[in-house]
Structure 1
């Protein structure tokens, strides 16, 4: 069986409903990717989530939720005296902002046990991680994770990095820039968003973004750009432009990038070209942002 591992932090999510109430769920950028990948990949694939959670009721409930949605949790470590983070979503005209409570979240211990980390990365076919995966770690542990991913990549794993900037999670703008370049340097596939790259690095064009990540070793780069065309570069084929999918009913952009990552990687590992994978990813993300919350089971004919 092939194994697709997403690595990072899942949190308790409170998302607004039409009745001005909040609905409790579980989400987080890399878990969202895992959830969508599970919907898109066949039974020959195990979709796994790699993280650290507590030994409390909220953590147990999260694990049960993941298992109930077909995500393998054998790559999650439980530790005492910690719990999971929590966030709320505020929406205005379909655009979201977040409030977080995650200071003592167990996921910050992801790179503390190097032997365990190596063990969950070993033998995976695909590993996806993000800028948030790096940002939540203590600064000295980011290189530990990078080293472990380098070993996995050298052994044949396809490593994918979704830059996913959250400036408030980093100690400084410089630390964020260094962290993003570090993440890209250990990845085959890099999935940045141009508006974030423009803010973080001062990029003038998607070509600037592609050049930076190409120069540190990425083989495939897909630069998302909202409603504008996506620029895709591969080592083999150079740069191509993929037209955007028009959306007239923007409801909630919470998991646009996460579902894009799942759609892109799922298509890629099933034989699609990078441009075909970009089109599939864009089509999925366009559907997702027309639903509330990070996860949109309605798209796949599910109700939960």
Structure 2
């Protein structure tokens, strides 16, 4: 079967349930993308996740939740002295900010059993990772990871990368930019968000971001830009796709992740670029009208 493999982090998500109560869920940028890819992918496309977790009950609960959404977590490394990371969502209207506790996150150790990882990479049609996947790895593991992606991906498979630039995860800005650039240069599909790119690289327009990544060697680039046009670049042709107005926005968490998942799955289903971007925009629009990163499949308005 054809498969998409996501490599990254899943965390414990806590969001306000009112009256000093917290609602526990699971989330992480790569995991979120896989969740929405699974929702949109045809039945014959497998969705797989490589991370690392602890041996504690909440790690068991996390893996069970992923499996309940049709995400295969087979051969997940279990790290005895580690636990899942945790974050809280703070909302100001619909805009969100986060507080994180991930110093002892098991996901940081996800390259420590590379045989399992490279076997999954070599079997996958699409391998998806993010700038957060890179930022949380110890430096030596990061170098092993990037080299392994290039070495072990199969002929004809696609490396898909969302830079998802988070400066607070990096001790050195130059290194952050260098690693992001190196990862993008390995990738076939790059899915940046313009706000991140403008802040980190000083790009003046979304088109500038798209051209910079294409110049590094990406086959095609899709630049997300909130309510503004989504920009697509392939074969030196730039196209813009307007975003339909969304009413009832309550939480923009995972807007970009859900876009990525729907876009990749739609392409794997055989849809055109335009149809895939429209599906991704609709998915993100549905997600931001709900609280939290993960919403049930039946809330996406997809045909059964």
- Range class of TM-score, shorter chain: over 0.9
**Partner residue of 1:136?**
136
Once residues 138 and 9 of structure 1 are traced to their aligned partners in structure 2, the CA distance between those partners, rounded to angstroms, is 14
Which piece of structure 1 moves more, 181-190 or 255-264? 181-190
**Structure 2 unaligned regions, length at least 5:** none
Once residues 134 and 279 of structure 2 are traced to their aligned partners in structure 1, the CA distance between those partners, rounded to angstroms, is 27
Q: Does 1:255 align with 2:288?
A: no
Q: Does 1:200 align with 2:200?
A: yes
Q: Does 1:289 align with 2:288?
A: yes
- In structure 2, the CA distance between the partners of 1:19 and 1:288, relative to structure 1 (3 Å rule), is farther
SS of 1:129 mapped into structure 2: strand
Once residues 126 and 169 of structure 1 are traced to their aligned partners in structure 2, the CA distance between those partners, rounded to angstroms, is 26
Root mean square deviation of aligned Cα: 1.6
Give the deviation of 1:75 after TM superposition: 4.3
Once residues 104 and 34 of structure 1 are traced to their aligned partners in structure 2, the CA distance between those partners, rounded to angstroms, is 24
Once residues 75 and 156 of structure 1 are traced to their aligned partners in structure 2, the CA distance between those partners, rounded to angstroms, is 24
SS of 2:290 mapped into structure 1: coil
Once residues 32 and 124 of structure 1 are traced to their aligned partners in structure 2, the CA distance between those partners, rounded to angstroms, is 18
**Partner residue of 2:279?**
280
* Preserved CA contact (<8 Å) 1:228 1:244: yes
Give the deviation of 1:123 after TM superposition: 1.1
Report how many residues are paired. Answer: 301
Q: Which structure carries more relative contact order (alpha carbon 8 Å, separation 6+)?
A: 2
What are the within-5 Å matches in structure 2 for residues 226-237 of structure 1? 226-235=226-235
SS of 2:72 mapped into structure 1: coil
What are the within-5 Å matches in structure 2 for residues 8-87 of structure 1? 8-17=8-17, 21-87=21-87
Q: What is the TM-score when the length of structure 2 is the normalising length?
A: 0.94
Once residues 108 and 255 of structure 2 are traced to their aligned partners in structure 1, the CA distance between those partners, rounded to angstroms, is 24
Once residues 28 and 238 of structure 1 are traced to their aligned partners in structure 2, the CA distance between those partners, rounded to angstroms, is 32
- In structure 2, the CA distance between the partners of 1:33 and 1:75, relative to structure 1 (3 Å rule), is farther
Give the deviation of 1:19 after TM superposition: 5.3
